[in-house]
Amino acid sequence: MRMVRFRLPLAMLTGLLVVLVAGLAGAGLWLLRGIQRQGAYQAAAEAVLRQGEQIAAHLAAQPAMGRTDSATPDWSEFAALFSTLRTLEPNLEYVSVSSGGTVLFHRQAENIAETPDAPPPVPAPPAGDIRLSRKVMDLGGRRVPVVTFALEVKNDEGPAKRLEVGLRRAAVEYVEGPAALAIGRMFRVSLLTIAASFAVCAVMVAWMMRREARREELRRREEHLAFSGVMANGIAHDFRNPMSSARLDAQMLEREVARGGDARPDRAAALAGRIRGTLDRMDQILKEFLYLSRPAGAPEATDLVAMLDGCIEMLAGRMDRAGITVERQFPPEPVRIISHEGPLRRAAANLLNNAIQAMPDGGVLRVALGRSNRGPQFEISDTGPGIPHALRGRVFDMFFTTRPEGTGLGLFLAKAAIENCGGTIRIVDAPAGGACFRIELPDRPPAKGRDAVKR
């Protein structure tokens, strides 16, 4: 089953990341708000509990809670105290005092009068301890939850009295209100700050993406112009060699024809054939440059002996004129590999031309073909001045040349063509001095797709 790779545009991916980070930040802020609200509620509940305990303890210390044999407790002061406490604490619901199951005093926020039929008291807590409990009161059909604080006050001269104070649970929200309001405002301010920050980030990302797109378009145009320049220089470089050979052959043909009756038809036919072959190679080079950006096609069976012989024959006129002797060291049988013959032929022609330029006053050009552990290899060496070791790492760079009239593309294109065929090229020390290029090729190129092999 073929997998389809789905790729999002970079701008959309960046926008999704910004939204994701903003969502995580908002969720974290919401969680922090919940934790703070919970802490504020807990703190308010503890404050209300302390407040209820203080009210119960304060009421338990009043004189009315005591009893003597000669006097009856006066609850008027106790009632006035309840009214004062009710003013200070709006959520104080009721205060009840009982003894032995009898209600001695009861005041409630909804009804300030005494209510002798108040709810029956719960069992008395231990002396000196305040017992907490919860219950729901029915006030005229309205159910009000309250928290009760019960305290038993013992008296040496009579039975113990039970004090019960009721606070509405709304007291917790009342105490928590300012803190909750502050937390809510802080949350809104923080949320607005985060939203504004991410909005600015989104605008900056969009602006940077747009600027990067413009720069990418500019770089693409510059690369296109640079590639066009390389193409033009490469065409001029690769055309220069066969054009020079064709010019020399044409001059030799002209001199042969000028001999009149002594002209040698076979020699003239050979020169005309070489010119036609050179023009055919120029046409092939032009096609290669026209289709440089397209696939090289399927590799085919190539005879290295015939390919090298053809390159030497193409440059024979220039070698004769420069007084260069060619030494061929080829095996008697063909050496065949599966490769792209066109680029390989151009690489060999560029290396041969480089050797001819290194020997303007004549010399020996040696072309040796053999085999290495990897596969076929051939060497092209000359008896020129050679290449200094300090420059051997740069001679294959684009536009690098030591000749004023050079373009710096010959060795660069040769290296690119050989590597495209799966081979390697390096400079080694020549036995007789000069420069020596060793090219190693595999028997077949590395697999790239499903190209068929033509044989």
Q: In this structure, is residue 427 part of a structural domain?
A: yes
How far is it, in rounded angstroms, from Cα 147 to Cα 89?
14
The predicted pLDDT at position 35 comes to: 84
Tens of pLDDT, residues 191-209: 888 788 878 877 887 788 7
Residue 87, in any domain of the structure:
no
**The predicted structure's pLDDT at residue 1:** 41
Question: Is the per-residue pLDDT at 188 higher than 90?
Answer: no
Looking at per-residue pLDDT, the higher value among 227 and 218 belongs to 218
More reliable by pLDDT, 158 or 380: 380
Containing 346, the helix (H) or strand (E) segment is helix 341-358
Looking up residue 134, the CATH number of its domain turns out to be: 3.30.450
* Better-predicted residue by pLDDT, 136 or 369: 369
Give the angle 303-304-305 at the CA atoms, nearest 5°: 95
Most confident stretch, 115-124, 166-175, 283-292, 383-392:
383-392
pLDDT of residue 278: 83
Domain count, the chain: 2
Name which residue leads in pLDDT, 381 or 245. Answer: 381
Is the confidence at residue 69, as pLDDT, over 60? no
Domain end (from 138, 168, 198)? 168
User: Does residue 344 have a pLDDT over 80?
Assistant: yes
pLDDT at 385: 85
**What is the longest distance spanned by two Cα atoms in the chain?**
172
For the segment 236-266, what is each residue's pLDDT rounded down to a tens digit? 766 777 788 888 888 888 888 888 777 788 8
Higher pLDDT, 57 or 408: 57
Of 123, 142, 168, the one marking the end of a domain is 168
Does residue 112 or residue 399 have the better pLDDT? Answer: 399
Q: Say yes or no to pLDDT of 119 above 50.
A: no
Residue 400 inside a domain? The answer is yes
Q: Is residue 61 part of a domain?
A: no
Strands, sheet with 424-429, edge to edge from the N-terminal-most edge strand: 324-329, 363-371, 376-381, 435-440, 424-429
Q: Which of 168, 201, 222 is the last residue of a domain?
A: 168
Cα–chain center distance at 365: 54
pLDDT mean over 360-367: 90
In terms of residue numbers, what domain contains 155? 92-168
What single letter denotes the amino acid at residue 37? R
Q: What is the CATH number of the domain that holds 345?
A: 3.30.565.10
Instruction: Tell me how far CA of residue 75 lies from CA of 111, 115, 263, 271, in angstroms.
Output: 16, 13, 155, 142
55: pLDDT strictly greater than 70: yes
pLDDT of residue 422: 84
- pLDDT tier at 2 (50, 70, 90 boundaries)? very low
Tell whether the model's pLDDT for residue 4 goes beyond 50.
no
Q: Is 424 helix (H, G, I), strand (E, B) or coil?
A: strand
331 within domain boundaries? yes
Query: Is 451's pLDDT higher than 80?
Result: no
Domain membership flag for residue 163:
yes
Strands 102-108, 324-329: pairing is unpaired
**What average pLDDT score do residues 102-123 get?**
56
- Cβ count near 262 (within 10 Å): 7
pLDDT at 450: 40
Question: What is the structure's pLDDT at 305?
Answer: 92
Question: Region 179-184: what's the mean pLDDT?
Answer: 77
Given this model, what pLDDT does residue 330 score? 92
Instruction: Report residue 195 as tokens.
Output: 């939203």
Instruction: Output the six-digit token pair for 198.
Output: 């991410």
Q: What is the mean pLDDT of the chain?
A: 77
pLDDT band, very low/low/confident/very high, at 287 (cuts 50, 70, 90): low
Whether residue 289 is contained in a domain is answered as no
The average pLDDT across 335-339 equals: 87
Q: Is residue 239 part of a domain?
A: no
pLDDT value, residue 399: 65
The pLDDT assigned to 437 comes to 92
